[in-house]
Amino acid sequence: MVSFIDIHRHHTQVIKVTGSLDISTRDELQQVINKLREGSPSHVILNLSQLDFIDSSGVGIIMEFIYLSQQLDFHLEIDGVNEQIDQWFRIMGVYKVLNSIRREDR
Amino acid sequence: MEKIYCPTEGHPSDIGDRYQKSKIDREIYLAKKIQQEMFKGFKTEEKYGDAIGISIPAREVSGDYFDFYKMPNGKLRIIIADVMGKGLPASMLMIYLKGALKSVSECSLPPSQTLDKVNQALVHDLRSIGAFITMFCADWDPQNQTFDYANAGHHFPIIFRHRTQSIESMEAEGVMIGGLYQFDYPERRVKLSKEEVVVFYTDGIFEAKNQDSKRYKLQQIKEVLFESYHRKSEYIRNQLVQSIKDYTQTSKVKDDITFIVFKP
């Protein structure tokens, strides 16, 4: 499940993902993306502390957020990733893509 | 002319829908047959070692891919890849990957450059549809008994070391195909000896759950290797598949599962 939990001052938005992230979460993602487009935040925190499982489609959703950060020009932070998912992200190169896009935007 | 409505065959619009569905079913069936042919009969020559693979689709067709190429430089190339998602869309991308790989492998480029070329060939299309592919490319040199390998975001294969009776990973950092427009894939080398085993796999194994909803873990693969490392690769492969079936208590899988077993 993907949902907004809070909107802070200074144009920071927090998106919390709970349970599983897979193909069934796509519709929820679209709603979140629409909200991001409307809100034009400068900083987005993707909180994954309550994410239990992610499959390759779920990683695809994370990648969409990363590319969106470039498109909408906001700083994306991925936070609270558990040890196993963190290891998967490292193996797949998710953080490398995120860092590369941040460098390009500087 | 009077139209006759036959209740047993449904309303005329239902018949149209059913005709359409049966047409789609038939096309999926044909796609499945094509994919089965692609995976059928992979058996390498003895001089290259003892290598075998299997791919089990979660649906009719799979987004997993594995292949063996006899390289012009005398090496055996082993490829394992996993296309994001499942089913027909993933299987279409898998065929696309196969075409790109075939042309690159004919040039005898090393694994790192192969990944770079494949990425360059596919990245624009993959980015435009929001997809990616993880892929591991390893070249076995039968003369020197070494693997040169590079990794595009795929799970690390595992090696069973006979002398120390231990397990290690073929680690290599990288980025998934389609992740970045440009990435320099580092290349690694590992030496193997007889009675050692390498298992390549896709992440579908981690979607297999037991009756208590606990997921299959790498530990299960390690247990199979400790028990059967001295056997032929075909036996080890069958034991790996059986270990998933025993764990889940079913023959159906939730995600595509692929194993390659290699022995020098």
Q: Binning pLDDT at 50, 70 and 90, where does residue B42 land? A: low
Query: Where does residue B90 rank: exposed (0-12), middle (13-18), buried (19+ CB within 10 A)?
Result: buried
pLDDT at B142: 95
Asked if the C-beta of B183 comes within 8 angstroms of chain A's C-beta atoms, the answer is: yes
Q: Measure A83 CA to nearest chain B CA, in Å.
A: 15
Query: Which residue among A53, A56, A91 sits closest to B84, beta carbon to beta carbon?
Result: A56
**Mean pLDDT value across residues B129-137:** 93
Which pLDDT score is estimated for A57?
A: 84
Average pLDDT over residues B24-30: 73
| Chain B contact present for A100, CB below 8 A | yes
pLDDT digits (tens, 9 = 90+) for B64-74: 889 998 888 99
Q: Which of B179, B203, B215 sits opposite A93 (nearest CB)?
A: B179
- What proportion of chain B, given as a percentage, has pLDDT over 70? 87
pLDDT at B3: 41
Q: Do A97 and B180 touch (CB under 8 A)?
A: yes
* pTM, full prediction: 0.86
| Residues B164-220 pLDDT 10s | 999 999 999 999 999 999 999 999 999 999 889 999 999 888 878 888 888 888 889
- For residue A59, list chain B residues with Cβ-Cβ distance below 8 A: 84, 132
Residue B14: per-residue pLDDT = 66
3-state helix/strand/coil string of chain B: CCCCCCHHHCCHHHHHHHHHHHHHHHHHHHHHHHHHHHHCCCCCCHHHCEEEEEEECCCCCCCEEEEEEECCCCCEEEEEEEECCCHHHHHHHHHHHHHHHHHHHCCCCCHHHHHHHHHHHHHHHHHHHCCCEEEEEEEEECCCCEEEEEEECCCCCEEEECCCCEEEECCCCCCCECCCCCCCCCCEEEECCCCCEEEEECHHHHHCECCCCCECCHHHHHHHHHHHCCCCHHHHHHHHHHHHHHHHCCCCCCCCEEEEEEEC
Partner-chain residue, chosen from B127, B155, B180, that has the shortest CB–CB distance to A100: B180
CA-CA-CA-CA dihedral for A62, A63, A66, A71, to nearest 10? -130
From the list B170, B161, B166, the residue with the least C-alpha distance to B80 is B170
A14 to A4, A43, A47, A81, B163: CA distances (angstroms): 6, 9, 7, 14, 51
- Calculate the average pLDDT of chain B: 85
Residue B130: its chain A contacts at CB < 8 A? 60, 63-64, 67
Query: Residue A99, Cβ neighbours under 10 Å: how many?
Result: 12
Q: How far is CA B231 from CA A18, A104, B50, B194, in A?
A: 44, 51, 11, 12
User: CB distance A96–B152 less than 8 Å?
Assistant: no
Q: Do B179 and A57 touch (CB under 8 A)?
A: no
Extract the tokens encoding B28: 């999926």
Please tell me the predicted confidence (pLDDT) of residue A34. 77
State whether A97 and B173 contact (CB < 8 Å): no
Instruction: Please determine, for residue B106, whether its predicted confidence score (pLDDT) is greater than 90.
Output: no
Residue of A nearest to B217 (CA): A84
Cβ of A93 within 8 Å of Cβ of B127? The answer is: no
Using pLDDT thresholds of 50, 70 and 90, give the confidence band for residue B60: low
pLDDT band for position B40 (cuts 50, 70, 90): low
The rounded percent of chain B whose pLDDT value lies above 90 is: 49
Residue A57 forms contact with B (CB below 8 Å)? yes
Residue A72 and residue B223: Cα distance in Å, rounded? 48
Confidence class of residue B1 from pLDDT cuts 50, 70 and 90? Answer: very low
- pLDDT score at B8: 43
Beta strand A43-54 with A75-79 is parallel
Q: What is the pLDDT along chain A (106 residues), one digit of tens a residue?
A: 666 555 555 678 888 888 888 877 767 777 787 788 787 788 999 999 999 888 888 898 899 889 999 998 999 999 999 999 999 999 999 999 999 988 776 5
Q: How confident is the model at residue B228 (pLDDT cuts 50, 70, 90)?
A: very high
Length of chain A: 106
Cβ distance B87 to B60 under 8 Å? yes
pLDDT in tens, B10-21: 555 666 676 676
pLDDT at B102: 82
